[in-house]
Structure 1
Amino acid sequence: MKYVGRIAAVAIVGALSLAACGTDNNGGATSSAAPASSAAGNDNALSGAINAAGSSAQANAIDQWKKDFQAKNPGVSLNYQPSGSGAGVQAFIAGTISLAGSDSALKDDKGEPAAADARCKTGKAINIPMVTGPVAVVYNLPGVEGLQLSPKTLGGIFNSTITKWDDAAIKADNPDAKLPATAIQPFHRAEESGTADNFTKFLKATADWPYEPAKAWPAEAKGQGAKGSDGVASSVKSTEGAISFVELSYAENSQLQKAKVANGSGEFVELTPDSAAKTVEAAEVKGTGNDLKLGIDYATKAAGAYPIVLVTYEITCEKGLAADQVPLVKSFLQYTASDEGQASLKDLGYAPLPATLLTKVRAAVEAIS
């Protein structure tokens, strides 16, 4: 595992100020009018700034892509604020950024697609999957390695109905383990989070989870909140008896213990990029046209498939970005969807997109104009 520095929180005050003054830059700065067709992530004629924000789950991927893309395009700067998926979507709708990262697609029940389309003015907003982020169930229990947890047991733990590590349900999942009577300390994201949204979708689909999936953690489930993926990882690392859910890259960077999770066939599966990719391969495209919103089967019975995954989307306008932003955003996404851009993900604890999905992603990026 290569350690990747956490993205510095980059201030986007300048972009916000421009927006407040009535500019129609839609989150951008000036750039050269390089043709988008020549901007395949390696066009030194490009210049300007891309202001983006959102998912902290993809922060390590963005950090690597930013470094590599800017090396190829020294006139371009990418400012990404890992403020959380909910904040990123709202900033995009408000027009203060050109690109939002979100661990879940725009939500119909919140009116997000219509609001995002209105922000794009002359086109529609599209969800473009770019990062497969396996979600690790991490725990801090010295002396207990290779913990196995079924979805039903996870539901009880995170709903605070299973409160001790030697509970009968955990023993049933781990018949050969010596489990202590330590109190379970469950952590969750304090702010709205696409990771929480995907994790609760998994629980709703596979466990006795009484709450509706949401970016905001249900207060009734209790537990302790921590800010951002890094905050969750840090809290688990410093708290004996802790358990939480966090993206694989953060779990590995913090050297946390990871549980094996049972899929729909009852097989306890270790989390790896390859085992997570098996679940994404079966995902169904729910969007239309170049909107690639996915439906993931969290109860997959595929052999060797790890069931808790999230796909991070890059949300932007298919048409309707400010003219100076089109070649910049398009060029950056062409790079992230390239063979080189996707290959770098495995070293960061992510999984590259399956080939069939990647073909659709590239077509969606080419449609940006």
Structure 2
Amino acid sequence: MKLQRKNGLRATALGALAVTGALVLTACGSDDNTSSNGTGAGKATAASNISCEGAKGKLLASGSSAQKNAMDLWVKNYMAACSGVEINYKSSSSGEGIVAFNQGTVGFAGSDSALKPEEVAESKKICKSGQGINLPMVGGPVAIGYNLSGVDDLTLDAPTIAKIFNNKITKWNDPAIVKLNEGKSLPDKAIQAFHRSEDSGTTQNLGKYLGATAKADWPYEAEKKWPAPGGQAASGSSGVAAQVKQVDGAIGYFELSYATSQSIPTVSIDTGAAAPVKATSENASKAIAAAKVKGTGKDLALELDYATKAEGAYPIVLVTYEVVCDSGNKSDTLSTVKSFLTYTASDEGQKVLSDAGYAPIPVEINAKVRETVAGLN
């Protein structure tokens, strides 16, 4: 893709934000996907406004697979501009990324959910004079993808999704599904439900949605570990998407880019609004537009409204964070962490997301991210 100069970037990014109500979040991450507009994560162009001052050597990071495509773009553009600096982001899972961060083996971690209190407490052993904080960088809709021969348009609501993943609805022609899809021919076929095998922020965000909207049918705490009985497990969003893609009768959850790149149909959600809502970046933005910072001090964790019934608002959403020490970062990697995250939060870094089918963090929150990054020590 071709990166524009700073003024053009700012105008384009702000214009796009104005159109979408100041917050557009879209499909996050793929282990090997191209982006939804076909640009692909493999192309790198030296960005024009990256400051490499102080950056040096190798910086290791790991975590969320949801932000993998975005991270690939950022890393390649940054390394093209900053000769001699190597950024190595290992796509695993949010849970593994947090563990690595709290063990001190990475300079920052990617996570689809904010640090829990016990994880913050653990981080103080690594952040000698501070603690781990959450910096929102990108987010988007969590799609419910499915594979059902002859059915390319499917609507479900929260209780039905909960019952499917809780092994209470096991056939595609179950009356609850039929009622939500009047006039459509649904086969007498077993549902093959797939979930993440490892700790996952995407799992936790799905759990938050189901807990907020279908508590009677989803009596579990929203944790990164899959809580329900039955179903089949696969590793990473890429693994779940691969299973759904190849198994007729399958259903699973993953960031929208997996569905887009592999032509996997996605479920429209009946939220109680006038019409079912499709999983798109624009529709997710309507749900996330009211996000508020719930973190204290330098922590910028966001509070999302999973139970929204606003017209056209897609409710199953996530925001992906970079987790860093607010103070007490390792001296040998601090300058590189600050330089790289300054780029990812910049107009130019956020514009890369727009070009690749992602979208910027809202201006007001991103301004706080930039200020926090600048003050890391």
Give the TM interval when normalised to the shorter protein.
0.7 to 0.9
Residue of structure 1 equivalent to 2:115: 106
Pick one of 147, 151, 163 that aligns with 2:170.
163
Counterpart amino acid of residue 274 in structure 1:
E
1: CA distance, partners of 2:129 / 2:163: 47
Q: Structure 1 regions of 5+ residues with no counterpart?
A: 7-39
Q: Per chain length, whose mean CA-contact separation is higher, i.e. which structure has more relative contact order (CA < 8 Å, sep 6+)?
A: 2
Q: 1:150 Cα deviation (Å)? A: 0.7
Partner in structure 2 of residue 75 of structure 1:
84
Q: Deviations over 1:225-246 (max 9, x none)?
A: 0001111111100100000000
What does the per-residue CA deviation read over 1:255-283, in whole Å, with 9 as the maximum and x for residues that have no partner? Answer: 21111113353641111111111222211
Tell me if the contact between 1:57 and 1:133 (Cα under 8 Å) persists in the aligned partners.
Answer: no
1:232 pairs, out of 223, 232, 240, with: 240
**Matched AA of 1:63:** D
Which amino acid in the other structure matches residue 68 of structure 1?
N
- Paired with 2:319 and 2:108, the residues of 1 have a C-alpha distance of 16
Aligned CA-pair RMSD: 1.9
Q: Is the 8 A contact 1:140 1:240 kept in 2?
A: yes
Separation of aligned partners in 2, 1:48 and 1:211: 44
CA contact (8 A) 2:172 2:189 kept: yes
Q: Establish whether residue 212 from structure 1 lines up as the match of residue 248 from structure 2.
A: no
Once the two structures are superposed, the pairs formed by residues 211-360 of structure 1 within 5 Å of their partners are: 211-218=220-227, 220-263=228-271, 265=273, 267-360=275-368
Name the CA distance, whole Å, in 1 between partners of 2:119 and 2:275.
Answer: 37
2: CA distance, partners of 1:267 / 1:289: 40
How far residue 251 of structure 1 moved from its aligned partner, in angstroms, is 1.5
Question: Mapping of 1:91-130 within 5 angstroms?
Answer: 91-108=100-117, 111-130=118-137
> Does the 8 A contact of 1:232 with 1:244 survive in 2?
yes
- The secondary structure found in structure 2 opposite 1:221 is coil
Counterpart residue type for residue 165 of structure 2: F
Q: Is the 8 A contact 1:264 1:300 kept in 2?
A: no
**Range moving further from structure 2, 43-52 or 114-123:** 43-52
> Percentage identity across aligned positions?
51
Paired letter, 1:115: E
Match of 1:250, SS state, is: helix
After superposition, give the CA deviation of every residue in 1:296-325 in whole Å (9 maximum; x if it has no partner).
Answer: 110112221110111111001111112221
Counterpart amino acid of residue 169 in structure 1: A
Deviates more, 1:321-330 or 1:89-98: 321-330
Cα gap change, 1:347 to 1:158, in 2 (>3 Å): farther
2:202 alignment counterpart: 195
Deviation string 1:39-75 (CA, Å, 9 cap, x unpaired) is x733266321110010011111111111111111122
Task: State the aligned residue count.
Answer: 335
Q: Work out the CA distance in 2 between the residues paired with 1:245 and 1:350.
A: 18
| Maintained 8 Å contact 1:193/1:215 | yes
Comparing 229-238 with 350-359, which one deviates more in the overlay?
A: 350-359
Distance 1:302 1:367, change over 3 A: farther
What SS class does the counterpart of residue 124 from structure 2 fall into?
helix
1:175 aligns with 2:211: no
Residue 345 of structure 1: SS of its match in structure 2? helix
Amino acid at match of 2:153: G
| Aligned position for 1:4 | 40
8 Å contact kept, 1:3–1:253: no
Normalising by structure 1, we get a TM-score of: 0.86
Q: Distance in 2 between matches of 1:5 and 1:343?
A: 14
| 8 Å CA contact retained: 2:274, 2:311 | no
Q: Distance in 1 between matches of 2:97 and 2:272?
A: 33
Give the aligned residue type for 1:53.
S
Comparing 316-325 and 184-193, the one that deviates more: 316-325
| Correspondence for 2:139 | 132
> In the superposition, relative to structure 1, how do residues 266 and 285 fare at CA in structure 2: closer, same or farther (>3 Å)?
farther
- Whether the 8 Å contact between 1:280 and 1:354 is mirrored in structure 2 is no
Distance 1:266 1:291 in 2: 37
Unpaired stretches in structure 2, ≥5 consecutive residues: 1-35, 43-48
Structure 1 residues 266 and 121, CA gap change in structure 2 (3 angstroms): farther
Alignment partners' CA distance in 1, 2:183 and 2:323:
46
Do 1:290 and 1:363's aligned partners in 2 also have CA atoms closer than 8 Å? no
The whole-number CA distance in structure 1 between the counterparts of 2:102 and 2:324 is 10
User: With structure 2 as the length reference, what TM-score do the two structures score?
Assistant: 0.85
Deviates more, 1:278-287 or 1:87-96: 278-287
Q: 1:295 to 1:322 in 2, by over 3 A?
A: same
